[in-house]
Amino acid sequence: MINHLVAPSLLAANFLKLDQEIQLVNQSEADWLHIDVMDGKFVPNISFGFPILNAIKEKCQKPLDVHLMIVEPEKYIARFRDHGAEIITVHVETCPHLHNTIQGIKATGAKAGVALNPHTPIIQIEHVLEDLDLVLVMSVNPGFGGQKFIYQTLVKLEELRERIIVRNLPTYIEVDGGVGLHNAEKILQSGANVLVAGSSVFKSPDPQNAISQLKSIGIDTIMV
């Protein structure tokens, strides 16, 4: 039995004060720092590149949880690992050779994750589930922060948890999008054990306390 993890999403941080925002995360109860990498093709936005990631690596004391919302992610896996990524998550929608991409991530020594958009069914990762360290269930349409949680996600979480339990796997279930104190408990009850929180942390008057509150929810929840 382990407690759930909290991964603040840097996408919601104040970009003019990234050094201070990272130090805030360092001093908090956060477990990982979630970094969304966008290419303007797979999603309609562009975010962090390698120079920024390298600077983050130098300052951040938490594992970097890097979410690649990009096309052809297999071309860049080694570079993201070299720039500090400890967890690398790709989208099933962008990987025609998903098993090979997962093995490529693992070959770098990073943990391998696969993300599912809100419309993508769990069946899409049925045949690679045993190879994954993490499944990221998107609870908003990817590309922008501050969106409202799609509550149909809870049904998907329950289905995913059942499949993981049946296989007796240690796979993390991560949820990203619209996560906050108002719905975190229900998300955990539905099967998640990693909460990605952006606006609910960095837009809070007291971000460290917001992280602490997210960590304290469902403290005795049994994780898969």
Active site annotation includes 39: no
Active site annotation includes 36: yes
Q: Which of 207, 220, 151 is nearest to 33 (CA)?
A: 207
Q: Determine the Cα–Cα distance for residues 64 and 83; give it in Å rounded to an integer.
A: 10
The answer to whether 208 touches 25, Cβ cutoff 8 Å, is no
HEC per residue, 155-181: HHHHHHHHHHHHHCCCCEEEEECCCCC
Among residues 19, 31, 36, 65, the one annotated as catalytic is 36
Among residues 31, 65, 133, 176, the one annotated as catalytic is 176
Give catalytic residue positions: 36, 176
